[in-house]
Structure 1
Amino acid sequence: MKFIHAADIHLDSPLVGLSAYPDAPAERLRTATREAFERLVARAIEEQVDFMVIAGDLYDGDWKDYHTGLFFVRQMGRLRQAGIAVYLLYGNHDAESEVTRSLQLPDNVQVFPARRAETFRIAALQVALHGQSFKHAATTDNLVPGYPALVPGWLNIGVLHTALEGNAQHASYAPCSQAELHAKGYQYWALGHVHAHWVEQGDVTIAYPGNLQGRHIRETGAHGALLVTAEGTQITRIDRLEVDVLRWHLLEIDASQADDLPDALRLVGQALDQLLRQEPAHMVLAVRVRFAGASGAHAALLRSDQQLRHEVIAQAVALNPERLWIEKVNTDTQPLQLAQAPASGAAANAFAELQDLARTAPQDESFAQALQASWQAVLEKLPHEVLAQAPELAALRQQPEEALAAQLQDALTLLGARTGAAADADR
């Protein structure tokens, strides 16, 4: 006997962080959650599963129109034609209070009620599914104590939308502990709400499939559902089904290997090429590039965010413009050392004074306060469009004190690079 465990599908939810960029793959962004769900339905039919469980957050809140509901009904119709039943539970995003529109679902779809936990029995398979939907989005009560007793001799599956203990990064909806799940005696807990894949397999198996499609840079890597195989009352196998159509990656570039900007860009190109090779050929990749480490290219990487972004995009376009999209470029590098002073003369003396200032200013409280006040006044006068184009300046306006030492170091590095270049030109 086989079934699919899915959760957190968030149909028609936008992919955050991409649509604001003019070169984003708009059509793929708009339809990604639908395409992922279509792929899941196709896998269910291909694997000839006995049923599918959806453990909450099918929708992402109320529909803008009926097209979201019609799409879901159409997919359920495909499963109905294949003889596949669906057991659907609503979570915090699609609770009764959150989705005001509704459509009659095909008769192969059973919905867990919100008023109390209920059991659906599949007599031919000797399977009992226990679950309770959310009535309100902010369901903070522990629902597990109200779940029915297990059906002896049958495979018991608990369906629950919960944060579960230890998942502090997710809102604490329907909180419960692993010990409470074990105490129920069900052989399998089909959970939803946490968007990461996690499985604890044993006499009692507890599983999160993760969400079907990553929606932003905090949801990197593969996403999909679980294909669960059982024999009698035993869970014998759990396979991961990857059905996402756009995959997020945070690409760390060790800039310590780069002496200048061309070196840094070559490293990006090599890393992007390797990423393309290791991912499935159909997969679109949304990539955030982050330069890190102490590097000789530090000053060049900081000179212009806009130019750096376009240089990195150029590397992606040269490799595969249909599959690679650069979401953002971050620079978190440090200079190898303070720039070397000019060899001799008045410039050397001035540069030495600047080096001493960069080293001691952060510890001179009165000087630091005066500098911060002047710096803050300048930042407050900058037009909004300038701050929008230079987010690092906006950040400094919020935290000038913490940024003082680093900014002095960076300024001196840039000054050293430019005076060095000028000296070379004179020679």
Structure 2
Amino acid sequence: MRFIHAADIHLDSPLHGLSAYADAPADMLRNATREAFSKLVSLAIDEQVDFMVIAGDLYDGTWRDHNTGIFFCKEMGKLRRAGIPVYLLYGNHDAESEMTSQLQLPDNVHTFSTKKPQTYRIDALKVALHGHSFKDKAVTTNLVTAYPPPVDGYFNIGVLHTALEGAAMHASYAPCTVAELHAREYHYWALGHVHEFAIWQEASTIVFPGNLQGRTIRETGRRGAVLVSVSEAEEVSVERLFIDVLRWEAVNVDASGLDTLDEVARAAGRALEALVDAAERPVPHAVRVSITGATKAHGELFANEKQLRAEVLAQIAAISHDRLWLEKVKVATQPITRERTAADLADGGDALADLHALLIEAESDPEFLAMLKDRLITLATQAPSDLQKSVPELDYVRDGDLAKLVSEARSGLIAQLADAE
């Protein structure tokens, strides 16, 4: 027996972080979650799986219109014609209280009750599926304790949308522990809510498949679902299915030993080319390039971030413009002479030393920091979204961390002026 376990599909959820840029793949961003789900359905049919489980967050909240629901019904119709049933559990994003629009689903789609745990049996396969959908978005109680005992003689699958031991990056909905899941004595737990793949194989096999399609730079790497195979001896094997249609990646470029912006740009180009060459299939990548390390180029990079971005875009154009898009270039370098600058300039007695000392004092001057925040807060909160996304330092203003802003400006400015001198 084989089935597909997916979760956190977030149909029609927008992909964030690229739309502000002129060269962004607008159509791909708009349709990525649909295309990934269609690929999942096609794969289920090609593999002739026995059924599919969706463990919550099929949707991303209530629909803007009925097109989201109509699209899902169309895809379920494909599975219906192939004789593949679907067992659907609602999570926090598609909880009963969140959805103001609904459509009748094809009869091969079986949804778990929001009132109490519900069991579906597939007698021909000797499979029992147990699940409890979210009625409200913020379900903070442990749902597992009410799940029924396993059905004797059947392969028992628990379907649950949960933070599982308080996953740090996700709201603590339906919290429970791995030990509690094992204690139910089900063979397999099909989980959702946590967007990263995870597996535990002991008394039960417990799996988060991760989300189907990465939506922001915080969701890097390969994404998809899992194909679960169960032998006659009830041995379970789990195979990851990578079906994302656009992949987010974070590329780090160590600028240590590089002296100029041009050298840094070429190093970024080599790193991006290696990323494309290493991909197991020709999936487009949305990339954040972070420049790190202590480098003589620090001042030049600090003063010419717009030029650096253009140089990296030129590298991308030469490599594979239809498979790479730039989300952001983040400069996080340090001046290679930082310690010498801090010590020497303090005793230098010249204009550069005076500036350095003044900026040091400014970092701890509450009146100056308050004035700076007053001057910048309107820009930080009301500037166009593309400007806010392209100037990450505005986050310091919104967060009230003006000392950090001054510190970063100081190191870059002093390095740039020292280079010029």
Q: TM-score when scaled to structure 1?
A: 0.89
Match of 1:256 in 2: 256
> Once structures 1 and 2 are overlaid, which stretch shifts more, 17-26 or 88-97?
17-26
Q: Deviations over 1:213-236 (max 9, x none)?
A: 000011000000010000246233
> Once structures 1 and 2 are overlaid, which stretch shifts more, 306-315 or 136-145?
306-315
Native 8 Å contact 2:205 2:236 kept in 1: no
Between the two proteins, the alignment pairs up a number of residues equal to 413
> Once structures 1 and 2 are overlaid, which stretch shifts more, 382-391 or 240-249?
382-391
Q: In 1, Cα distance between the equivalents of 2:372 and 2:70?
A: 56
Match of 1:425 in 2: none
Match of 2:89 in 1: 89
Amino acid in the other structure paired with 1:90: Y
Q: In 1, Cα distance between the equivalents of 2:95 and 2:394?
A: 41
Match of 1:159 in 2: 159
Q: Deviations over 1:121-156 (max 9, x none)?
A: 011110100001111111111111111110112110
Structural mapping, 1:5-44, within 5 Å: 5-44=5-44
- Alignment RMSD (CA, Å): 2.7
Q: In 2, Cα distance between the equivalents of 1:136 and 1:369?
A: 45
Q: In 2, Cα distance between the equivalents of 1:201 and 1:255?
A: 42
Match of 1:272 in 2: 272
Q: In 1, Cα distance between the equivalents of 2:265 and 2:285?
A: 19
What 5-or-longer segments of structure 2 have no aligned partner?
none
Match of 1:344 in 2: none
> Once structures 1 and 2 are overlaid, which stretch shifts more, 116-125 or 230-239?
230-239
- Cα deviation, residue 305, structure 1: 2.6
Q: In 2, Cα distance between the equivalents of 1:234 and 1:366?
A: 64
Distance 1:231 1:328, change over 3 A: same
Native 8 Å contact 2:162 2:174 kept in 1: yes
Q: In 2, Cα distance between the equivalents of 1:382 and 1:186?
A: 55
Q: In 2, Cα distance between the equivalents of 1:145 and 1:195?
A: 24
Q: In 2, Cα distance between the equivalents of 1:32 and 1:368?
A: 48
Match of 1:49 in 2: 49
Match of 1:318 in 2: 318
Structural mapping, 1:16-415, within 5 Å: 16-232=16-232, 234-337=234-337, 352-354=349-351, 356-357=353-354, 368=365, 372=369, 379=376, 388=388, 390-392=391-393, 395=396, 398-415=400-417
Amino acid in the other structure paired with 2:102: S
> Once structures 1 and 2 are overlaid, which stretch shifts more, 392-401 or 111-120?
392-401
Q: In 1, Cα distance between the equivalents of 2:378 and 2:157?
A: 61
Native 8 Å contact 2:293 2:332 kept in 1: yes
Q: In 1, Cα distance between the equivalents of 2:10 and 2:149?
A: 31
Native 8 Å contact 2:377 2:397 kept in 1: no
Q: In 1, Cα distance between the equivalents of 2:323 and 2:143?
A: 43
Match of 1:424 in 2: none
Q: In 1, Cα distance between the equivalents of 2:86 and 2:378?
A: 59
Q: In 2, Cα distance between the equivalents of 1:24 and 1:213?
A: 17
- Cα deviation, residue 21, structure 1: 2.0
> Once structures 1 and 2 are overlaid, which stretch shifts more, 399-408 or 295-304?
399-408
Amino acid in the other structure paired with 1:416: A
Distance 1:403 1:139, change over 3 A: same
Q: In 1, Cα distance between the equivalents of 2:67 and 2:310?
A: 37
Native 8 Å contact 2:158 2:188 kept in 1: yes
Instruction: Give the 3-state SS of the residue equivalent to 2:34 in structure 1.
Output: helix
- Cα deviation, residue 3, structure 1: 0.4
Q: In 1, Cα distance between the equivalents of 2:371 and 2:106?
A: 67
Q: In 2, Cα distance between the equivalents of 1:199 and 1:382?
A: 45
Q: In 1, Cα distance between the equivalents of 2:24 and 2:95?
A: 32
Native 8 Å contact 2:347 2:353 kept in 1: no
Distance 1:210 1:382, change over 3 A: closer
- Cα deviation, residue 239, structure 1: 0.2
- Cα deviation, residue 303, structure 1: 1.0
Amino acid in the other structure paired with 1:60: D
Q: TM-score when scaled to structure 2?
A: 0.90
Distance 1:44 1:379, change over 3 A: closer
Distance 1:276 1:242, change over 3 A: same
Instruction: Give the 3-state SS of the residue equivalent to 1:252 in structure 2.
Output: strand
Q: In 1, Cα distance between the equivalents of 2:346 and 2:309?
A: 37
Native 8 Å contact 2:356 2:414 kept in 1: no
Native 8 Å contact 2:393 2:405 kept in 1: no
Native 8 Å contact 2:114 2:134 kept in 1: yes
Amino acid in the other structure paired with 1:116: K
Distance 1:382 1:198, change over 3 A: closer
Instruction: Give the 3-state SS of the residue equivalent to 2:113 in structure 1.
Output: coil
Instruction: Give the 3-state SS of the residue equivalent to 1:14 in structure 2.
Output: coil
> Once structures 1 and 2 are overlaid, which stretch shifts more, 350-359 or 212-221?
350-359
> Once structures 1 and 2 are overlaid, which stretch shifts more, 43-52 or 350-359?
350-359
What 5-or-longer segments of structure 1 have no aligned partner?
342-347, 420-427
Q: In 2, Cα distance between the equivalents of 1:264 and 1:321?
A: 19
Instruction: Give the 3-state SS of the residue equivalent to 1:42 in structure 2.
Output: helix
Distance 1:172 1:125, change over 3 A: same
Q: In 2, Cα distance between the equivalents of 1:355 and 1:325?
A: 40
- Cα deviation, residue 182, structure 1: 1.1
- Cα deviation, residue 10, structure 1: 0.5
Instruction: Give the 3-state SS of the residue equivalent to 2:124 in structure 1.
Output: coil
Amino acid in the other structure paired with 1:15: L
Q: In 1, Cα distance between the equivalents of 2:143 and 2:194?
A: 17
Native 8 Å contact 1:339 1:416 kept in 2: no
- Cα deviation, residue 406, structure 1: 4.2
Q: Deviations over 1:230-265 (max 9, x none)?
A: 024623311000010000011111011311011101
- Cα deviation, residue 338, structure 1: 5.1
Instruction: Give the 3-state SS of the residue equivalent to 2:311 in structure 1.
Output: helix
> Once structures 1 and 2 are overlaid, which stretch shifts more, 17-26 or 371-380?
371-380
Q: In 1, Cα distance between the equivalents of 2:74 and 2:22?
A: 32
Q: Deviations over 1:1-46 (max 9, x none)?
A: 1000000100000001122222210000011001100111111111
